[in-house]
Amino acid sequence: MRRTAATWLCLLLASWLPAAAGATPTPSAGPGNLLNLPLEFPLLAFNNTGTLDYDAATDLLAVDAEPVALRLAPATKPRGVRLPRDFTLRAEIDDTGALVGGIPGDDLRVRGTVELGAGFGNTTVSGVLLTGEVRDFGFQEAGPSDLFEFEVVNTGGLLSGLFASTLTVFLTSEGSSFTNSFRVDFGGGAKGTLGSVPEPRAMLLLALGLIGLAAIGRRRS
């Protein structure tokens, strides 16, 4: 069966309507799986000198690193993050690998100084750039370089308005001692990327706009 461009756009729209209407998000597949969240601009990279540590007695997973670069869009160059700078993330993970919750205060905090470039009036921002609360967690044991993923609610910071309301942190832990068990302590390096999770409403508006353009094209043909 041949489908027109408008038909495909309608299918795309239909796939996003439940989320745009406030439907309950589909939960992650469970402990031992990555969340596989999309990672969209802006993107903030943190370096490979960071550390990840898990304390089985307290269930605390702690990430300490340094943010090194901010890239606002595909067409822009990365902007270096200057000292003093730090990237901290805390979450309580039980012995099955499931998220229990965060900690008192900010689960995520990113601090530093960065110049935003000509598109933003060459504004320089300095201080707490982002804060957030961890909402979901995924992981994958992959030998000496394990993978960890966090879904984070954007709660504030100087750059908060440039990011979506939901963030994702994708982390690689090199030299990791993780053995797919949260019943024992483990640790390793920490490097990765923080980005925005696309907003369903933005996708809805995009789909509506594309459908409108397709309808105009049909009338002109």
Closest alpha carbon to 71 in 115, 137, 108, 23: 115
Closest alpha carbon to 174 in 144, 138, 149: 144
Binned at pLDDT 50, 70 and 90, residue 211 comes out as low
Average model confidence (pLDDT) across the chain? 83
Residues 86-90 have a mean pLDDT of 98
Rg (CA), the chain: 20
Binned at pLDDT 50, 70 and 90, residue 144 comes out as confident
Check residue 121 and give its pLDDT. 77
Check residue 118 and give its pLDDT. 81
Check residue 14 and give its pLDDT. 40
Q: What is the pLDDT of residues 72-87, one digit of tens each?
A: 999 999 999 999 999 9
Asked if 206 contacts 184 with a C-beta cutoff of 8 angstroms, the reply is no
Closest alpha carbon to 114 in 83, 86, 77: 83
Binned at pLDDT 50, 70 and 90, residue 218 comes out as low
Highest mean pLDDT among 4-18, 27-41, 96-110: 96-110
Check residue 208 and give its pLDDT. 53
Percent of the chain with pLDDT over 70: 76
Check residue 119 and give its pLDDT. 78
Binned at pLDDT 50, 70 and 90, residue 12 comes out as very low
Binned at pLDDT 50, 70 and 90, residue 114 comes out as very high
In angstroms, the CA 47 to CA 183 distance is 28
Binned at pLDDT 50, 70 and 90, residue 88 comes out as very high
In angstroms, the CA 107 to CA 169 distance is 12
Tokens, residue 98: 């499931």
**pTM metric for this prediction:** 0.78
Q: What is the pLDDT of residues 15-46, one digit of tens each?
A: 333 333 333 333 444 456 999 999 999 999 99
Residues 140-169 have a mean pLDDT of 96
Comparison of pLDDT for 10 and 171, the residue scoring more: 171
Binned at pLDDT 50, 70 and 90, residue 203 comes out as low
DSSP structural state of residue 197:
P
